[in-house]
Each structure stands twice: as C-alpha cells, then as structure tokens.
C-alpha cells in the first residue's frame, strides 16, 4: 500500500504524494484518497509538535532566554552604566576646573 519513491522518480499510477521524508530523501506515496488522509494527519502532527512544545523543550527555551538576559545585563547594561558614570565624571571635572 505504501510506496517509497526516491528523488527524481515518477509517482506510480493510482498513487498520490502524502509527504516527503527528508532524512531518507524519498517521497512517501499512498493510493489516491488514502494519501489525503495521511497527508492531513502528517500536517496536523507537525503543527501540533510546533505549537505545543514538550516540557523539556520549554525548559531549554527558558534556559536559553535566561542566558541571553544575563549576558545582556552583564554586558550592555554594565557598559552603559560605566559610560554614563565616565561621562558624568568628565563633566564634573570640567565644571570644577571652570570654577
């Protein structure tokens, strides 16, 4: 019932393309009519996987976000504060020299 067709080959008569297997570099074909059911099920499966990540994937994303936030706070914000303090010190030094 299921036929695997390598890249570049013709789809057999009476069969329809259900989905492409990228790892095996093949197309998965089923008889006409059934291929629509399989194609819809595969599309729903992948949409579900992308829209609702697992607990571990959410934990990984939270960890990555925390790491980016820590790097931002340690790098950009600290540099901005140091630059502000340096500019403030230079201005106060100029003012004190003028007086």
- Residue ranges per domain, the chain? 3-51, 54-99
Question: Would the pTM of this model clear 0.75, i.e. be above it?
Answer: no
Q: Mark 24-34 as b/e (b = at least 16 C-beta within 10 Å).
A: eeebbbbeeee
Taking residues 18-30, report their average pLDDT. 91
Q: Tell me, what's the pLDDT at 80?
A: 79
Q: For residues 90 and 28, which has the higher predicted lDDT (pLDDT)? A: 28
pLDDT at 95 over 90: no
Q: Tell me, what's the pLDDT at 48?
A: 87
| Strand order from edge to edge, sheet including 3-6 | 3-6, 26-31, 15-21
pLDDT at 14 over 90: yes
């Amino acid at each position: 019932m299921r036929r695997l067709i390598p890249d570049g080959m013709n789809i057999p008569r009476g069969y329809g393309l259900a989905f492409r297997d990228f790892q095996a570099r093949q197309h998965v074909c089923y008889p006409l009519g059934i291929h629509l059911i399989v194609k819809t099920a595969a599309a729903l499966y992948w949409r579900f996987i992308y829209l609702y990540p697992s607990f571990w994937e959410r934990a990984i994303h939270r960890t990555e976000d925390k790491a980016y936030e820590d790097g931002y706070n340690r790098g950009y914000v600290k540099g901005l504060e140091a630059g502000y303090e340096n500019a403030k010190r230079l201005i106060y030094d100029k003012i004190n020299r003028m007086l």
